[in-house]
């Protein structure tokens, strides 16, 4: 959510800032901006267009600078407009002294705004960010580090900041509390970014700042100060991201690329899984799994649907009860804590504010058996958890999650097997069979991807629809929910997922020719019941689009359109059906001409409440 890049160097940093913004743009794209030194003054360029347009504006002004900050925004306070775009400036005397970019939300911005207004500051925007710029300016006495440190003490909420001051042209100061920020170390130059990906190609030496840290960057030095304001050493990680990681290659959109990367991503996520062993989830995992008698899954968005699917797997294989909760609900409700609970957070980014807060909330309630399934090893959630499993999806740029979801499912299936093993519920034969099937997933997914031409043929029929219903039963019900989410996120067609058995209790009233009903039809124990549900739709003139496993005997007719899937894949079948629904959402969005990778109003990683 929002992206920050900053640099202090002896060369022109504008290409570094713009390239960094391009790589972070998927995190928020309501507006963007850049602030640099021009001679002795600070100058900024801002735009409500995409970074490519900002880059043209910057080029037309022939800007060159050795120090600067840049930002791409996902609006929270204040509409997406140029005057609300970052960087924000401040200068008490009317002369700009401070430029600042910010990710996160300042919760006490109203009180600070009132105080700073009384002190004579004039606000140009509706943002909480401008408050921070003025606050720092009000505390500035020639040393931007001291001003930022003093300001942070007064800020409540989450923030990552990058700040430059007019009178200190070779200095950049950052601060982190609740929103990710990294320092990148170069030779004779240093960087700040909200994600190391922004710095790929510039440096691989990365410091992940911790909450409460303030960092002071000069050409030849980087000094971190901890929450107490004391100088401290933070570990320097070598991060092997290469600039090409986010390249589109031969694909039309990142989402398409990422859908087609799934065989590789799932295979990588299983790397090193020779045997089913608790240690795959971290040291001490066996003891943790032995000592739990229930699982509480906390997540948001697509990750929540991965959790819902896992409930079916864990209960079926390990016979341990599982509850799955939306993190933003759990964190604020009265719940009944049980210390013998495995608290499982699932997150692509590991930084989603609600999931992180829910995890902290669970810990506060005395539940210390925590596990995170996450795609980012250095993330806050991984650091906050006792155990972790890192999925190896690679960077996911498309806002609609695809490969992150199927790699989460892969890790979750492995978890179900491990817990079943620890609980003595898995025979050696069953274990070997399931592991073999899991290992075969990359091949099975490739076979599903080969159905793309058939999905494309359907997509144009959806292009002029405004509503769609997704039906599934059993462990395919969460996949129906995920299919509906994918379609609404990127095509803007209103879509709902329903358990097919619930159709007659409401949604059947909506069924007309105008609303396609997408049905997931695996060849499982519920098939005949599902066929009855399909008849309920058919009898009311509804149009069915069915993804049917081989041997289901569901055939096409005037109002039933069928794509036949490869053979039924047992407990892992939800993973394969998820892939077809991704393809459907993607091609429908293309047929409607939407901005697939950057759907309106959304962001990749939501690090604010
Ligand atoms: C946002 C993204 C979704 C994602 C959700 C949870 O809404 O657009 O794709 O599923 O956040 O994110 P997480 O990083 O916690 O999985």
CATH number for the domain that contains residue 341: 3.40.50.10490
For residues 205 and 306, state if they share a domain: no
* Closest approach atom of ligand 1 to CA 602: 8
Which of 218, 245, 272 is the last residue before a domain boundary? 245
Q: Picking from 36-40, 365-369, 414-418, which range would have the lowest pLDDT averaged per residue?
A: 36-40
Under the banding of pLDDT at 50, 70 and 90, the label for residue 93 is: low
Average per-residue pLDDT in the chain?
A: 93
* In-domain check, residue 543: yes
pLDDT of residue 242: 62
* In-domain check, residue 322: yes
Which of 372, 406, 439 is the last residue before a domain boundary? 439
pLDDT of residue 1: 66
**Residue to mutate, 255, 299, 302, ligand 1, most ligand atoms under 8 Å from C-beta:** 302
pLDDT above 90 for 430: yes
pLDDT above 70 for 243: no
Q: Is 492 exposed, middle or buried (0-12, 13-18, 19+ CB in 10 A)?
A: middle
Is residue 187 within 8 A of residue 94, CB to CB? The reply is: no
Exposure string for 154-171, b = 16+ CB within 10 A, e = fewer: ebebbbbbbbbbbebbeb
Mean pLDDT throughout 451-477? Answer: 95
Exposure string for 414-441, b = 16+ CB within 10 A, e = fewer: bbbbbbbbbbebbeeeebeebbeebeeb
pLDDT above 70 for 382: yes
Mean pLDDT throughout 465-472? Answer: 95
* In-domain check, residue 445: no
For residues 410 and 519, state if they share a domain: no
Mean pLDDT throughout 429-448? Answer: 95
Q: What is the DSSP letter of 574?
A: H
For residues 138 and 277, state if they share a domain: no
Q: What is the DSSP letter of 571?
A: G
For residues 169 and 310, state if they share a domain: no
pLDDT of residue 215: 98
Q: Which residues pair with 247 in a beta bridge?
A: none
For residues 288 and 396, state if they share a domain: yes
Mean pLDDT throughout 556-561? Answer: 85
Is residue 353 within 8 A of residue 158, CB to CB? The reply is: yes
**Cα of 604 from ligand 1 centre, angstroms:** 6
For residues 77 and 203, state if they share a domain: yes
pLDDT of residue 251: 93
**Cα of 387 from ligand 1 centre, angstroms:** 21
For residues 568 and 423, state if they share a domain: no
For residues 426 and 324, state if they share a domain: yes
E strand or H helix at 517, and its extent?
A: strand 516-521
- Nearest residue (CA) to ligand 1, atom 7: 301
Supply angle C-alpha 57, 63, 66, rounded to 5: 135
* In-domain check, residue 359: yes
For residues 51 and 63, state if they share a domain: yes
Which of 409, 439, 469 is the last residue before a domain boundary? 439
pLDDT tens per residue, range 217-230? 999 999 999 999 99
Under the banding of pLDDT at 50, 70 and 90, the label for residue 247 is: confident
Q: Is 604 in the pocket of ligand 1 (CB under 6 A)?
A: yes
pLDDT of residue 91: 87
User: What is the percentage of the chain residues whose pLDDT exceeds 70?
Assistant: 98
Q: Is 373 in the pocket of ligand 1 (CB under 6 A)?
A: no
pLDDT above 90 for 607: no
Q: Is 376 in the pocket of ligand 1 (CB under 6 A)?
A: no
CATH code at position 226? 3.60.20.10
**Residue to mutate, 258, 259, 303, ligand 1, most ligand atoms under 8 Å from C-beta:** 303
Closest CA to 536 of 471, 482, 596, 485: 471
As for how many domains the chain has, the answer is 3
Most confident among 55-59, 144-148, 540-544 (mean pLDDT):
144-148
- Nearest residue (CA) to ligand 1, atom 5: 301
Most confident among 240-249, 386-395, 529-538 (mean pLDDT):
386-395
* In-domain check, residue 444: no
**Cα of 44 from ligand 1 centre, angstroms:** 31
* In-domain check, residue 27: yes
pLDDT above 60 for 76: yes
For residues 352 and 425, state if they share a domain: yes
* In-domain check, residue 196: yes
* In-domain check, residue 114: yes
Q: Is 372 in the pocket of ligand 1 (CB under 6 A)?
A: no
Mean pLDDT throughout 10-21? Answer: 96
For residues 427 and 357, state if they share a domain: yes
**Cα of 325 from ligand 1 centre, angstroms:** 15
Neighbour tally for 384: CB within 10 Å: 16
**If DSSP codes are grouped into helix, strand and coil, which group holds residue 484?**
helix
Under the banding of pLDDT at 50, 70 and 90, the label for residue 545 is: very high
Q: Is 582 in the pocket of ligand 1 (CB under 6 A)?
A: no
**If DSSP codes are grouped into helix, strand and coil, which group holds residue 220?**
coil
pLDDT above 70 for 309: yes
Q: Picking from 70-84, 119-133, 379-393, which range would have the lowest pLDDT averaged per residue?
A: 70-84
For residues 234 and 340, state if they share a domain: no
Residue 545's domain spans which residues? Answer: 450-609
Under the banding of pLDDT at 50, 70 and 90, the label for residue 311 is: very high
Q: Picking from 124-128, 184-188, 370-374, which range would have the lowest pLDDT averaged per residue?
A: 124-128
Catalytic residue ranges: 2, 604
């Amino acid at each position: 959510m929002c992206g920050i890049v900053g640099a202090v160097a002896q060369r022109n940093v504008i290409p570094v800032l713009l390239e960094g913004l391009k790589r972070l743009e998927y995190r928020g794209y309501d507006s963007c901006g850049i602030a640099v030194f021009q001679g002795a003054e600070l100058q900024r360029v801002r735009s409500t267009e995409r970074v490519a347009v900002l880059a043209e504006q910057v080029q037309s002004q022939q800007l060159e600078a050795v120090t600067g900050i840049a930002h791409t925004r996902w609006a929270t306070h204040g509409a997406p407009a140029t005057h609300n775009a970052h960087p924000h400036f401040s200068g008490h005397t009317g002369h700009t002294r401070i430029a600042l970019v910010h990710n996160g939300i300042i919760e006490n911005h109203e009180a600070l705004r009132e105080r700073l207004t009384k002190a004579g500051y004039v606000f140009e925007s509706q943002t909480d960010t401008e408050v921070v710029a003025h606050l720092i300016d009000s505390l500035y006495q020639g040393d931007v580090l001291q001003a930022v440190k003093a300001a942070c003490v007064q800020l409540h909420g989450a923030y990552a900041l990058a700040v430059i001051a007019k009178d200190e042209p070779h200095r950049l100061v950052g601060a982190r509390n609740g929103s990710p920020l990294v320092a990148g170390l170069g030779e004779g130059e240093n960087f700040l970014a909200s994600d190391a990906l922004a710095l790929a190609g510039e440096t691989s030496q990365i410091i992940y700042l911790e909450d409460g840290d303030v960092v002071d960057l000069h050409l030849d030095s980087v000094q971190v100060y901890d929450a107490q304001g004391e100088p401290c050493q933070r570990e320097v990680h070598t991060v092997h991201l290469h600039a090409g990681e986010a390249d589109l290659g031969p694909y039309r959109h990142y989402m398409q690329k990422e859908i087609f990367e799934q065989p590789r991503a799932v295979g990588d996520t299983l790397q090193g899984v020779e045997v089913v062993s608790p240690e795959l989830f971290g040291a001490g995992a066996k003891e943790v799994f032995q000592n739990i008698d229930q699982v509480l899954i906390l997540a948001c968005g697509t990750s929540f649907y991965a959790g819902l699917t896992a409930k079916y797997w864990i209960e079926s294989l390990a016979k341990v009860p599982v509850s799955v909760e939306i993190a933003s609900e759990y964190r604020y409700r009265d719940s009944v804590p049980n210390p013998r609970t495995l608290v499982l957070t699932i997150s692509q980014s590991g930084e989603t504010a609600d999931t992180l807060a829910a995890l902290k909330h669970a810990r506060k309630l005395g539940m210390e058996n925590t596990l995170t399934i996450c795609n980012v090893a250095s993330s806050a959630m991984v650091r906050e958890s006792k155990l972790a499993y890192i999925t190896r999806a690679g960077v996911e740029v498309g806002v609609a999650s695809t490969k992150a979801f199927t790699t989460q499912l892969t890790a979750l299936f492995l978890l179900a097997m491990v817990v079943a093993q620890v609980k003595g519920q898995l025979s050696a034969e069953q274990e070997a069979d399931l592991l073999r099937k899991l290992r075969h997933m990359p091949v099975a997914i490739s076979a599903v991807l080969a159905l793309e031409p058939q999905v494309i043929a359907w997509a144009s029929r959806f292009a002029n629809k405004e509503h769609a219903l997704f039906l599934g039963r059993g462990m395919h019900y969460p996949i129906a929910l995920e299919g509906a989410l994918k379609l609404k996120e990127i095509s803007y067609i209103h879509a709902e997922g329903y358990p097919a058995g619930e159709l007659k209790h409401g949604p059947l009233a909506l069924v007309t020719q105008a609303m396609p009903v997408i049905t997931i039809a695996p060849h499982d124990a519920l098939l005949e019941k599902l066929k009855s549900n399909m008849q309920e739709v058919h009898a009311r003139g509804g149009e069915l689009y069915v993804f049917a496993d081989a041997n289901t005997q569901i055939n096409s007719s005037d109002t039933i359109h069928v794509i036949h899937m490869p053979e039924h894949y047992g407990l892992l079948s939800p993973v394969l059906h998820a892939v077809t629904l991704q393809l459907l959402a993607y091609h429908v969005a293309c047929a409607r001409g939407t901005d697939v990778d950057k759907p309106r109003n959304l962001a990749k990683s939501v690090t604010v409440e």
